[in-house]
Amino acid sequence: MPNITPSLWFDDNLEEAMTFYTSVFPNSSIEFVNRYTEAGPGTPGEVVSAGFVLDSTRFIGINGGPVFSFNEAVSFTIQCRDQDEVDYYWDALVDGGQESQCGWLKDRFGLSWQVVPTRLLELTSDPDESRAIAATRAMLGMRKIVIADLEAAAADR
């Protein structure tokens, strides 16, 4: 069975990005870094591509220049077990980036992330439809997901 590995195109800050990401996620490492040589076409010593692992998920990165940009059409979801995890990943990834809504953010490199607690899915799929609707409406008004606020909304239905 072949492996599927996300490949990310950075302008020229791949090394900075993978160093940042491997510091945020546990069980992460930089696997390899390929640098331009005297043969070119880039400046010798600059990173052209690299491989890194974020909590057991492999990624390939390339410094390809400003030809393409990240957008929300592709994002990475972080399923968090509790509010402490939501807070940790949200705060780390949004630093230098931009908040969006419903648990979405763009990090300082322009990559989109969804930081969501597993409790969100439980509440929004509650068999009691009025509780699920209340939790969904609460989520729609949030930037970072706050579990206590979701639970309060569902309880107040």
Regions of the chain with pLDDT less than 70: none
CATH 3.40.50.300 assigned to domain 70-157? The reply is no
* Predicted pLDDT at 1: 83
The percentage of the chain sitting over the pLDDT mark of 90, rounded to a whole number, equals 94
Domain residue limits, the chain: 1-68, 70-157
pTM of the model: 0.93
Question: What pLDDT digit, counting tens, does each position of 26-63 carry?
Answer: 999 999 999 999 998 889 999 999 999 999 999 999 99
- Of 63, 37, 31, nearest to 49 by C-alpha is 63
| Dihedral over Cα of 141, 144, 145, 147: its sign | negative
The number of C-alpha atoms within 13 Å of 100 and in the hemisphere containing its C-beta is 17
Instruction: Please tell me the CATH code under which domain 1-68 is placed.
Output: 3.30.720.100
| Residues 79, 116 contacting (CB under 8 angstroms) | yes
